[in-house]
Chain A
Amino acid sequence: MNGNPAAAPLLRLEQVVAGYAAPVVGPVSCSIQAGDVLGLWGTNGSGKSTLLNAIADAARIFSGRIERAPGLTLFYQEQRPVRLPAMPLTGRDLLRCAAVPTHRPPPGSLSQHLNRRIDRLSGGQYQLLCVWAALAGSADLVLLDEPTNNLDPEHERLLAALLAQPRTHRDDRRAVLLVSHERAFLESVCSRVLELAPDA
C-alpha cells in the first residue's frame, strides 16, 4: 500500500448493484478505512456474501463502482473453508500457504493445532485456523464471510479475541470487513456495523 493511509480509504463502494445472472444486492455505498473492523449485517438472502464476492471480483457488478486503493491486497475467507476428505497438511502448513509469518504464533488454544493434520481438526477448530490465516497474513483488507459458522460459544469468544488482537506495526493499515447474521457478535467486535436490507 502506498500513500497516506489516514487520508484515502482502502475501499470505496459507490451505489454498487451486484449479483450473478441478475442483481442480488444494492445499491450499496460505503467506504472502509485502514484500521476499520466493519460489520455487515443482514438477514438470509439479503446479499451479504454477494457483496463480498463483488468486492473480490467474483460477482458481477451491474451498476455503480468499487474503488480499491492502489496496490490493495485482499484475503477472502469464504463461508465454508475448503475441506477435503484427506488433507495431509498440518496447521503450520496451512498458515504457510497463507503466507503467515512463522514468527507469529496463533493465540490461545489455536497454537495446539499447528502440528496436527488439518483433516483431524473439528469444523470449528479448522474454521478458526483459517480465520487466523486471514488475519495474521499480509493482506490490507480481510474479508470474512460468516466466520461464526461451526463455532461453539468458546470458539466464538476466541474468534472475538483474534479480531481484537493487539496489532503489529504492519497491521495498522489492515481493515476487516466481516459478514454475519449474528448482530450481537458484530456489535461486540466491530467498530461499525452496516445493515443490509433484503430489498436494498
Chain B
Amino acid sequence: MNWEIYADPLFRLPFLAGFLIAGVLPVLGALLMLREEWLAALGLAHLAAAGTLLGLAVGAPAILGASLGALGGGAVKSLGGARGNTAYGFMILIGWSALLLAAANTSAGDALGQAVMDGQLYFAGWTELAAAVLLTGLAVTALPRLMPRLLRARFFPRHDTANRLPGWRWHLGFDLLAAFGVAVGTATLGVLGTFALILVPAWAAFRIAPGWAWTLGLAGLIGVVAYLAAFVLALGLDQPFGPALAAVCLALGGLIGALRRLAQGRGGA
C-alpha cells in the first residue's frame, strides 16, 4: 500500500466533502427508516444520477443537475401525498430509465453514467465541498426543529389533522432535505455509496441503540467510521470509492448484527 498518497493535498477537499456527507446521510437514513422509507435513498439517488447526467449533457455542474433531479422527485412525492416505499420504487424506475437513456444519447454518456454509479469522490472540488457544508448546515439547523414533529407524526399520526396543523410543511421540509442530501451524496460519492450510507448505519443503529439519541449518534458514527475505512482502502488499493464504501458499510453492519446475536445468545443462555 502506498502511504504517501494520503498526504497528497489533491485529496484534501474530496476527503473533507465526503467526511461531512458521511456524518449527515446516516442521520437522514435513521429518520427515513423510522418512516419506513429507506428505499428513498435509492429512488432519489437514481433521480439525482439521471439529473447529473442530463445536466452534464447541457454543460451544468454535476451538483446542480443532481440537486434538481432529487429535489424535483422529493417535492413531487411530498406534495402528491405519496408515502412509503412504493413512491420510491417508481422513482428508481424513472431515474434508472432516464439515466440509461441519457447515457446512451450523450457524448461520453456511458463513461459518465458509470462514474455516477461508482462515485467520483477523488474529483470532488470546491463546489462539492460547498454543497457538503451547505447540507451539514441545513441538517444542523433544520433537524432539531423538524425531528420532534416528524416523530410525533410517526407515532401519533392523527395529531396534526386533529389539531388542524399544517403537517405537510414539515414532511415537505424533510423530504427536500433528504433529497438534497442524496443529491449531494450522489454527485460526490455515487449512487452506491450514498445508498449504503443511508441504509446500513441506520439499520445497524436500530438494532443496538438503547434510545433515539443513541440511534442518531451511532448511525452517524458508523457512517463516519465506514467512510474513513473506505477512504483508506480505496485510495491505498486503487479501488473505485463507491463500491469500497458499500463493502465496508456491509462488513460493519454484518459485524454489528453478529455481535448483537452473540450478545442475545449469551443473555438468553
User: Knowing A58-B162, A97-B148 touch, does A88 contact B155 (C-beta < 8 A)?
Assistant: no
Assess whether A96 is interfacial by the CB under 8 Å rule: yes
Contact-residue bracket for chain A:
20 to 34
Residue of A nearest to B218 (CB): A88
Please indicate the chain B residues that have their CB under 8 angstroms from the CB of A92 in the complex.
211
Assess whether A164 is interfacial by the CB under 8 Å rule: no
Give the residues from 67 to 97 in chain A that come closer than 8 angstroms, CB to CB, to chain B: 73-78, 81-82, 84, 86-90, 92-94, 96-97
Residue of A nearest to B147 (CB): A97
> Chain B contact residues: over half helix, strand or loop, or mixed?
helix
Assess whether B164 is interfacial by the CB under 8 Å rule: yes
User: Knowing A88-B215, A96-B148, A97-B148 touch, does A75 contact B159 (C-beta < 8 A)?
Assistant: yes
User: Knowing A94-B155, A98-B152 touch, does A73 contact B163 (C-beta < 8 A)?
Assistant: yes
Assess whether A117 is interfacial by the CB under 8 Å rule: yes
Assess whether B6 is interfacial by the CB under 8 Å rule: no
Q: How far is the CA of A55 from the CA of B152 in the complex (A)?
A: 19
Cβ–Cβ contact A57 & B212, under 8 A: no
Question: What distance in Å separates the Cβ of B216 from its nearest Cβ neighbour in chain A?
Answer: 9
> How many A-B contacts are there with CB distance less than 8 Å?
75
Please tell me which stretch of B17-25, B86-94, B202-210 contacts chain A, meaning at least 4 of its Cβ atoms lie within 8 angstroms of it. B202-210
Point out the residue from A76, A82, A88, A96 that lies within 8 Å of B162, measured CB to CB: A76
Assess whether A143 is interfacial by the CB under 8 Å rule: yes
Assess whether B154 is interfacial by the CB under 8 Å rule: yes
Give the residues from 90 to 123 in chain A that come closer than 8 angstroms, CB to CB, to chain B: 90, 92-94, 96-99, 115, 117
User: Knowing A57-B164, A96-B148, A97-B152 touch, does A88 contact B158 (C-beta < 8 A)?
Assistant: no
Residue of B nearest to A116 (CB): B210
Q: How far is the CA of A84 from the CA of B155 in the complex (A)?
A: 9
Assess whether A56 is interfacial by the CB under 8 Å rule: yes
Cβ–Cβ contact B206 & A86, under 8 A: yes
Q: How far is the CA of A87 from the CA of B33 in the complex (A)?
A: 10
Point out the residue from B156, B159, B161, B205 that lies within 8 Å of A88, measured CB to CB: B205
Q: How far is the CA of A96 from the CA of B155 in the complex (A)?
A: 11
Residue of B nearest to A119 (CB): B206
Assess whether B151 is interfacial by the CB under 8 Å rule: yes
Please indicate the chain B residues that have their CB under 8 angstroms from the CB of A117 in the complex.
210-211
Cβ–Cβ contact A90 & B34, under 8 A: no
Please indicate the chain A residues that have their CB under 8 angstroms from the CB of B155 in the complex.
81-82, 89, 94, 97-98, 130
Cβ–Cβ contact A58 & B161, under 8 A: yes
Give the residues from 119 to 145 in chain A that come closer than 8 angstroms, CB to CB, to chain B: 130, 133, 143
Cβ–Cβ contact B159 & A90, under 8 A: no
Residue of A nearest to B209 (CB): A88
Q: How far is the CA of A67 from the CA of B144 in the complex (A)?
A: 35
Please indicate the chain A residues that have their CB under 8 angstroms from the CB of B214 in the complex.
88
Please indicate the chain A residues that have their CB under 8 angstroms from the CB of B210 in the complex.
88, 90, 115, 117
Please indicate the chain B residues that have their CB under 8 angstroms from the CB of A58 in the complex.
158, 161-162
Question: What distance in Å separates the Cβ of B243 from its nearest Cβ neighbour in chain A?
Answer: 27
Point out the residue from B36, B151, B215 that lies within 8 Å of A97, measured CB to CB: B151
Cβ–Cβ contact A74 & B163, under 8 A: yes
Question: What distance in Å separates the Cβ of A79 from its nearest Cβ neighbour in chain B?
Answer: 11
Please indicate the chain A residues that have their CB under 8 angstroms from the CB of B151 in the complex.
89, 93, 97
Q: Kindly supply a per-residue 1/0 record for chain B positions 131-150, scoring 1 wherever the CB is within 8 Å of any chain A CB and 0 otherwise.
A: 00000000000000000100
List residues of B whose CB falls within 8 A of some A CB.
33-34, 36, 148, 151-152, 154-159, 161-164, 205-207, 209-215
Task: List 15 A-B pairs, Cβ < 8 Å.
Answer: A56-B158, A58-B158, A58-B161, A73-B163, A74-B159, A74-B163, A75-B159, A76-B156, A76-B162, A81-B155, A88-B214, A90-B212, A93-B212, A97-B151, A97-B155
- Report, nearest first, the 5 A-B pairs whose CB atoms are least far apart: A56-B162, A76-B158, A90-B211, A88-B215, A74-B162
